[in-house]
Structure formats: C-alpha cells, structure tokens
Amino acid sequence: MKKLRPAPYALSPLLLFLLTTSSNAEAATNVSRREVVKRVLPSVVRLEVQSIKPMGAMGGRLGQVEETGSGVIIELSGRTYILTNRHIVADAVEDFDAVRIHLADRRVLKPQKIVGSADFDVALLEIAADHLVPARLGDSDSVDVPDEILAFGNPFGLSGSVSAGIISAKGRRKIPQGDQAVPIQPFFQTDASINPGNSGGPLVNLDGEVIGIITAIASSSGSNEGVAFAIPINSVLRSARQLAESGVVFRPHLGIALDSKFDWAAAEKAGLDRAIGARVERVTPNSPGARGGLQAGDIILSYNETTVEDDTHLVILIAESEAGERPKLQILRGQTKRTLVPQLGADPQL
C-alpha cells in the first residue's frame, strides 16, 4: 500500500491560525480607522486667511497674501468654536473679514470673534451656524509611545486629508521651527505625514478623540520628513477655556529670570552629580518669587516633586500650573538644599 505524504508546502494548523488572526486584526484595524475618519472629518475645517505682507525676497512692495491652515470644531461652555493655532490667524485678529472657514459640507463661514494667545499658540474662532459637528475631545495624559494616531487637515490646501502614524515621543520642549517662536507647551512628536496647511488640525486616537493640535514640522525642505509636533489637547484646553471665558490667557509666573547657560559643567561646579536644575539669574523685587524667598543664584532642582531638567522645562512646568497655586520647590543655595513654597502670580497673555 502506498503511503500518503503531506504536500510539501502545506501550512501547519498553527501557522495558518496565526496568519488568519493577523489578517483579521489588520482588517479590523482598517474598519476602525474608516469609522474614525467618518466620525472626525465633519469636524475638520480649512482656514483661509488674507493678509497684507511685503512681497519678494527683499521685502519690497506690499501685496495681498493668502495662507491656509486647519482647525477643528469644538464646544466650550455651550458655545461653538473653531480651535486652531494662533499663528495661522495672527494677522486677522483685528480683521475678521480676512478669514474664511470652509466646512466639510462645503459651507463657508466668517468668524464672529477671534481670540488667541501667542505664548501658547492657541486661538478660538467663534462661529454660529446650524448642523455643526463638534469633535470628541480625549485625554492627552493617557497617550503614550507608540500609540497609533491619525492626523487630519489640509496640507497644501488639499481639503479633507488624513494620514496615519504613531506617537514617536512625548514631552518635547525644544523643536526645530525656524524663526517662529516656540510656544510654551510640551509637544507630542509624530511620524505621521504632516505638511504646510496641516497646522491647527487635530491629531486623533483610534477612538476618534482629539488628543492634540498639530502645530509644527521639523524639515530642511519645508515639507514632511517624518518629524512633526502637536500640542497635547489637555494643554490646549487649559488656554482655550480661559480664552472662551475672558478673551485672554493668564500665564502663571514667579517673576524670575533663569540662566540659559546653566549646563552640565555649571551643575558639576555647583556640586551636582548630573545635569539637572535651573539657576535663578534675577528675581524681580516684590514678585511672587521674591515674596516666596527665592534669591539670585538659587538652583531650582524640583517642582512639585518633578525633577527640573533645565530652564525650559521649569518654564513649562510653571506655565502648566494654575495662578495662585503654591508649588513645592526644592532648591540648592550654596551647599544647602531648602524647600520653598511660593505662590504663583498671573499675567494676562494675548
């Protein structure tokens, strides 16, 4: 009797199961992404801003320039706004007619009011219309590396564009952004394809929730090179809620100037075994810092139990606090560590 031999290329049951499972998981992910896109796209808008700027490389005669960006519809305190970056609408804050808001359903609106903060690069455009679709807002504190995300916006003015990627890093503070001032915010870094025109658009998790607002790319060519940055939505909303309530953002402060040249060598000279801390260069008289006992030369080592990595880190930690809060500071003064609990003041920032 002839013995039957298995076919030479037959798949084992285990391998067949793994391949089927992988295929099903990929299909499920695609379905999930499609549902997210259907849910989010009606909330994404294209912004057109007309402004008068010098024309030509040498800044010659003035001419009309049209710039495009993105935004997302949200609800705050019972009112409907377009949430975007301030740098997109900075030239139109005093001229609402210079802005056109293109909705996903092809309607075009003008903002009734524009408020924003340059320090935090957040702006709200108040609008009024029927059948608007506000986006769902997520919790950016729950986001981690390498969570999958989708980026929505209008790169190069191409409406309704979506790209996919992951969260590449969290807590970025210093980002390559050319001559533009870097907002006082921590950033998500992502590898999603993001280009000019995406700024102000939402970064969304696979539950269809906005977890960040796209604000910058790092590029030597001016286009996508796989490194882009978004402000976490929790940080954005901290500013946006104040803008909605009062039209300004109150920036917490201590009234101190920090030494930007405080590096590893300076830390070692001060007796520290690592490059941490921010050195106080100057304390404004009668400021919150002065009243709280801070002195020039103090090295602030921690802020509410968080190790201070450098001066920029401390600025962001303060900016993300609330005015009137009393943070616990551990400082090094000479060779002695001390604890101070100053009360933060607040300055209005437009």
* Residue 121 appears among annotated catalytic residues: yes
Per-chain mean pLDDT for the chain:
88
Q: Do residues 313 and 275 lie in contact, with contact meaning Cβ atoms separated by under 8 Å?
A: no
Question: What CATH number is given for 35-51+64-247 in this structure?
Answer: 2.40.10.120
Whole-prediction pTM:
0.84
Pairwise CA distance, residues 341 & 161, whole Å: 48
Of the listed 43, 70, 87, 191, which one is catalytic? 87
| Predicted confidence (pLDDT) per residue in 103-159, tens digit | 999 999 999 999 999 889 999 999 999 999 999 999 999 999 999 999 999 999 999
Pairwise CA distance, residues 206 & 150, whole Å: 7
Q: What is the pLDDT of residue 96?
A: 81
Of the listed 119, 121, 191, 298, which one is catalytic? 121
Q: What is the mean pLDDT of residues 299-325?
A: 95
* Neighbouring-strand partners of residue 299: 279, 332
- Strand bridging mode 278-283 / 256-258: antiparallel
For residue 318, give the amino acid letter. Answer: I
Q: Hey, where are the domains in the chain?
A: 35-51+64-247, 250-349
Question: What CATH number is given for 250-349 in this structure?
Answer: 2.30.42.10
For residue 142, give the amino acid letter. Answer: S
Of the listed 117, 159, 199, 219, which one is catalytic? 199
Question: CB atoms < 10 A from the CB of 290, how many?
Answer: 16
Q: Do residues 249 and 239 lie in contact, with contact meaning Cβ atoms separated by under 8 Å?
A: yes
Q: How many residues does the chain have?
A: 350
